[in-house]
Amino acid sequence: MKFGIAARLSWVLALVSSLIAGLTGLYAYRASHDLLVQSAKNELFNSTTVLARRIFYMRQEVSRDLHMLARHPASLAALQQASAAQADQLATLFEMIMHTNPGYFQIRLISAQDNGLERVRVDRDTDRPLRVTGDDLQEKNHYAYVSETLKLPAQSTYLSRIVINHERGAHAGLEQPTAQLATPVMDATGHSVGVIVINLDLNGTFASLAADLPPSYQLFLANQSGDFLIHPDSTLTFGFDKGQRVLLQDEFPDTRDLVAGKTGQVVLEATEKRYAATPMVAVFMGTNTDIASEESALILGLAQPLAHVLERADQLGLTILQIVGGFGVLGVLLAVLLARLITRPINTMSAAVERFSSTQQLLDLPLDRKDELGQLARSFATLQNQISQQIGELQQSRLELEHLARHDVLTGLPNRRLFMERLEGALERSRRNKQPLALLFIDLDRFKDINDQMGHDAGDAALRSVAQRLQANIRKVDTVARLGGDEFVVLLDNPSHRADVEAIAQKLLDSMHEPISFGSHSIAISLSIGISLYPDDGDSADRLMSIADTAMYRAKSERVKRAGAAVL
C-alpha cells in the first residue's frame, strides 16, 4: 500500500503538531516550575527580612524597658541608700513589666559594689513572677553582662552571648536558652553605680515570632561562628554547651561565605546530606547586633520543603500531560484537514507561552475557537490563571506579614514601629512648616487588677474598647497607636493651642467614664495621660516620647480617683 503526499503530509503534520504540543507543554511546565521556585525564594527572603526587622524592634523594646528602669528614681535610691521602700517599689515595677512581657525570664538591679551583689531581683517561676530576697541574692561581678555594662555610657545597651543559662537559682530560666540585655544606672555625677539586667526567654521569643509564619516554614538561628541556636531539630542546638560543634556551614555548605562575613545573605536549595531525601529552599541573612555585645552578628534563616513549593506544579504538570495527550490523538485524526490551520495557531501559542515565561501574561490565544486548538488555548489560559493565583497568594502572604509587622494584633492599631515612623514624618513636616504638634502618652490605671481579678480575656476586651474610644475621639489626621501592654500614644498633628491639647486629653479621659461590659461584669476604666509639645518640650521623637512618658507617670502618681493629664 502506497502512501500519497497527503497521507505523508498528514503523518508529518500529526507528528509535528504532537511534538510542538509536547514541547509547549514541557516548556509551560518548566516555566511554572521555575516561577514557583523563584516566587518561593522571594517570599522566603521577604519573610526573613520582616522577621529580622521584628527582632530588631523587639530588641529596641527591651532596651526601652531597660532605659526606663535605669532612669527610675527607685533604681538609684535602692543602690545608694539601700532603701527597702524603694526596693519594694522597684520590685513591684519589675513584676508589672514581667506580667506584660512573658518573654522575660528575669529582671535584676545589680550593684557595682559588693562584688556585683543583686539588690532587687524578680524571676519567672513557672508562669508567675517571684521576688528573690535575702541570702538568695547573688554576686554577679564576674559575669561580663555586669562588668562590661558598667563601662558603657548612659542609655547604652549590652547584649550577652546567647547560651544555655546555668546560673544557680534561675527558676524558670535555668537550663534554658537565654540572652541577657543590660544597661548602666548612673548617679548624679554620671558614674555607673549599678546595672539593670533583663534575661530573655529565647525559645519563647522566637516561638512568638514564628507563630505568624506559614506552618511549612522552618526557623534557624546561628551565632557569628555558625553554631546553631535555633534549629527544627532541638538536639542540634547549643552544641558548644555539650562539648561539640554543630555548625550552619556544615549543614548548608553554601553559607560558608555568609559565616565568614563575605556576603550578607544567601538564597539556596539544599539537596545534600540530611536534605537529600527532602530538599529544601532556604534563605539565610546576617544581622549585625549594632550594640555592645559578645555576639557581633547573628544569622537568621527560613526554609521550606521544595516538595511543598512544587506540589501545585506537579498538579499542573498532570493537567498539561492530559491536554497534550488528548491533542496528539486528535492531531493524528485531523492532520489532513487541519494541516494549514494548525500551523499558525500552534506558532501563536508557542510565542504566547514564551512571552508568559518572561512577563506572566498570556495573550493572543485563540480562545474563541470551537475546535481542539481553542480547547488547548483555554487550557493554557487556565494554567496561567492557576499560576497567577499562586503568585497572588504568595504576594498576599507577604503583605499580611508586612501588616503584622506594623500593626498591633489585638487592637488593630499601629504598633510602636509604625507610630515612630509617623512621628518622625510629622516632626519633619512641623520643622519644615514651623507648626506645632503634640504627643499624648496614655497608660491604663490598675490594668493589672483587671487581668488578675477577671482574667486576660477581660483585659483584652478592655484594651480593644479603649482603642475604639480613643480612635472615636480624635481627628482623622491624628494617630493613635498601642505601644505594648496597656500603653497607648496619640499624635496630634498641628494643634492650635496648648489649651486645645489639654481639652483633647480631657475629652479622652471623659470618654472612659462609661464602664465596659464584659459578660455579666462591668469594667471601670480610667487613664493617666502625659503630654509633650513640639517644639516647647523637645525637637526629637525620643525626647518627646520621654517627656510624655515622664509626665504620664507623674499624672498617675498624683491622681486620686481617676487618671489625669500632665504637661511638661
pLDDT band at 567 (very low <50, low <70, confident <90, very high): very low
Q: Please give the pLDDT value at position 149.
A: 92
* Residue 404 confidence (pLDDT): 76
pTM value > 0.75: no
**pLDDT digit string, tens, across residues 244-284:** 888 998 999 999 999 888 998 999 888 888 888 889 899 99
Give the pLDDT band (50/70/90) at residue 334: low
3-state secondary structure of 108: strand
Instruction: Using DSSP bridges, classify how beta strands 527-534 and 163-164 pair: parallel, antiparallel or unpaired.
Output: unpaired
Judge whether residue 63 has pLDDT over 60: yes
Q: Looking at the predicted structure, is the pLDDT value of residue 1 above 50?
A: no
Check if the beta carbon of residue 136 is closer than 8 Å to that of residue 169: yes
Measured CA to CA, the distance from residue 315 to residue 387 in angstroms comes to 11
CB-based contact 360:378 (threshold 8 Å): no
**Of 2-6, 38-42, 404-408, where does mean pLDDT reach its minimum?**
2-6
Strand segments, DSSP code E, in 414-496 are 437-444, 479-484, 487-493
- pLDDT, residue 566, reads 38
Q: What are phi and psi of 163, to 5 degrees?
A: -140, 175
Q: What is the mean pLDDT of residues 221-232?
A: 89
Cell numbers at 361, concatenated: 501574561
Mean pLDDT of 18-22: 70
Judge residue 475's burial from the number of C-beta atoms within 10 Å of its C-beta, 0-12 exposed, 13-18 middle, 19 or more buried: exposed
For the chain, what is the mean pLDDT? Answer: 83
Could you read off the pLDDT of 109-163 as tens digits, one per residue?
999 998 999 999 999 887 789 999 988 899 998 999 999 999 999 999 999 888 8
More confident residue, 303 or 171: 303
> What count of other Cβ atoms lies within 10 Å of the Cβ of residue 511?
16
Q: Please indicate whether residue 13 or residue 419 has the higher confidence score (pLDDT).
A: 419
pLDDT digits (tens, 9 = 90+) for 372-381: 767 777 777 7
Per-residue burial over 282-292, b = 16 or more CB atoms within 10 Å of its CB, e = otherwise = bbbbbbebeee
Local confidence band at 509 (pLDDT 50, 70, 90 cut-offs):
very high
Q: 485 is written with which cell numbers? A: 501592654
User: pLDDT tier at 560 (50, 70, 90 boundaries)?
Assistant: very low
Mean pLDDT to the nearest integer, 435-451: 92
SS3 106: strand
- Dump the DSSP string for 129-165: EEEE-GGG--B-TTSHHHHTGGGSPTT--EE---EE-
In angstroms, the Cα distances linking 82 to 120, 121, 186, 195, 392 are 10, 14, 16, 15, 62
Judge whether residue 338 has pLDDT over 60. Answer: no
Strand pairing class (527-534; 521-523): unpaired
Question: CA–CA separation, 557 vs 485, rounded Å?
Answer: 19
Instruction: pLDDT band for 53, please (50, 70, 90 cuts).
Output: confident
344-374 in b/e form (b: 16+ CB < 10 A) is ebbebbeebbeebeeeeebeebbeeeeebbe
19 against 292, higher pLDDT: 292
* 564 — pLDDT class (breaks 50, 70, 90): very low
What integer pLDDT is reported at residue 52 of this predicted model?
82
| pLDDT tens, position by position, 71-88 | 999 899 888 887 788 889
Strand 104-111 relative to strand 521-523, pairing: unpaired
CB atoms within 10 A of CB 499: 9
* Residue-by-residue DSSP string for 293-342: ES-SEEEEEEEEEHHHHHHHHHHHHHHHHHHHHHHHHHHHHHHHHHHHHH
Q: What angle do CA 480, 482, 483 make, to 5 degrees?
A: 125
Give the sheet arrangement for strand 280-288, strand by strand.
Answer: 228-230, 218-223, 297-305, 280-288, 265-270
pLDDT in tens, 520-554: 888 989 999 999 999 999 989 999 999 999 999 99
C-alpha distances out from residue 366 to 226, 341, 416, Å: 56, 12, 53
